């Protein structure tokens, strides 16, 4: 309840900021961007999505972030974040709000504090701190780099690291370094707004997370071929 109250208050402040900015001739803009892909591994073909949307002005925005993975008829991972984003420096935003993990079950609720921006050498960084129920905490670091081979052909390495503060055996996550996921994708921009790609993705579980997965008969490490599309509008 406290988390919900704080979040609603934050959104009220954000909306007030947006209204004030509009009086200063700062138009409200929107953007939707994301990736949808198919991965091939061990006879399965997981479908993975990562979609972001925002509405706001130069300095204040409201963000929605959704990502997940579905294998066959089962949704194995899915989460949704609702965030207020404030520009605090050139190319850097401070974000805070809430996150809900719908899968794996049971669902979990988190408060979020994040920094998102462009680091030196043009690395795109998204670093998040999650504060959950019953003293749970987690840190996620996403980093991506884009190198233009031509005006339309772009190669993009990326990495995601997840760390948890406590064991949560019910969801299969363990204390300390939990998972590392790295990928390399080569995309062709038919237009700036639509770009199919191919690539390779590698995942590995560590520590107690690996132990929980091994107990359930799940893979600890996996390498996947990837076909997908990146879009924005």
Distance CA(228)–CA(204), nearest Å, equals: 21
Instruction: Establish how many alpha carbons lie within 13 A of residue 153's alpha carbon, considering only the half-sphere containing its beta carbon.
Output: 3
Tens digits of per-residue pLDDT, 127-176? 999 999 989 999 999 999 999 999 999 999 999 999 999 999 999 999 99
3 state DSSP class of 145? coil
Domains of the chain: 88-232 (2.40.160.40)
Q: Which residues of the chain fall below pLDDT 50?
A: 1-6, 8, 18-23
Q: Residue 8: its pLDDT value, please?
A: 45
Q: Residue 3: its pLDDT value, please?
A: 46
Q: Residue 26: its pLDDT value, please?
A: 79
Ordered alpha helix ranges (H), the chain: 2-23, 207-215
Q: What are phi and psi of 210, to 5 degrees?
A: -65, -40
The residue assigned the tokens 């390779």 is: 200
**DSSP element (H, E) containing 191:** none
DSSP 70-133: EETTEEEEEEEEEEEEEEEETTEEEEEEEEEEEESSSPEEEEEEEEEEEEGGGEEEEEEEEEEG
Q: Quote the distance between the C-alpha of residue 206 and its chain's center.
A: 20
Q: What are phi and psi of 204, to 5 degrees?
A: -145, 140
Q: What is the pTM of this model?
A: 0.87
Q: Residue 41: its pLDDT value, please?
A: 79
Q: Residue 196: its pLDDT value, please?
A: 98
Please, are residues 93 and 87 in contact by the beta-carbon 8 Å criterion? yes
């Amino acid at each position: 309840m406290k988390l919900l109250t704080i979040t609603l208050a934050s959104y009220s402040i954000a909306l007030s900021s947006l209204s004030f900015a509009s009086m200063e001739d700062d138009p409200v803009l929107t953007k939707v961007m994301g990736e949808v892909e198919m991965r091939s591994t061990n006879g399965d073909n997981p479908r993975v999505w990562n979609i972001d949307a925002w509405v706001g002005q130069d300095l204040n925005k409201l963000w929605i972030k959704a990502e997940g993975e579905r294998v066959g008829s089962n949704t194995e991972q899915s989460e949704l974040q609702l965030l207020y984003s404030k520009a605090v420096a050139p190319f850097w935003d401070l974000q805070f709000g809430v996150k809900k993990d719908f899968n794996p079950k049971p669902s979990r609720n988190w408060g979020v504090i994040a920094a998102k921006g462009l680091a030196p050498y043009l690395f795109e960084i998204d670093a998040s701190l999650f504060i959950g129920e019953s003293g749970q905490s987690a840190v996620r670091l996403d980093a991506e780099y884009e190198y233009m081979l031509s005006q339309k052909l772009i190669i993009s390495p990326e990495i995601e690291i997840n760390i948890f503060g406590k064991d949560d055996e019910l969801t299969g996550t363990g204390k300390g370094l939990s998972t590392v996921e790295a990928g390399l994708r080569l995309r062709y921009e038919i237009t700036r707004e639509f770009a199919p790609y191919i690539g390779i993705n590698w995942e590995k579980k560590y520590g107690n997370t690996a132990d929980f997965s091994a107990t359930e008969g799940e893979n600890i490490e996996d390498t996947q071929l990837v076909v997908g599309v990146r879009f924005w509008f």
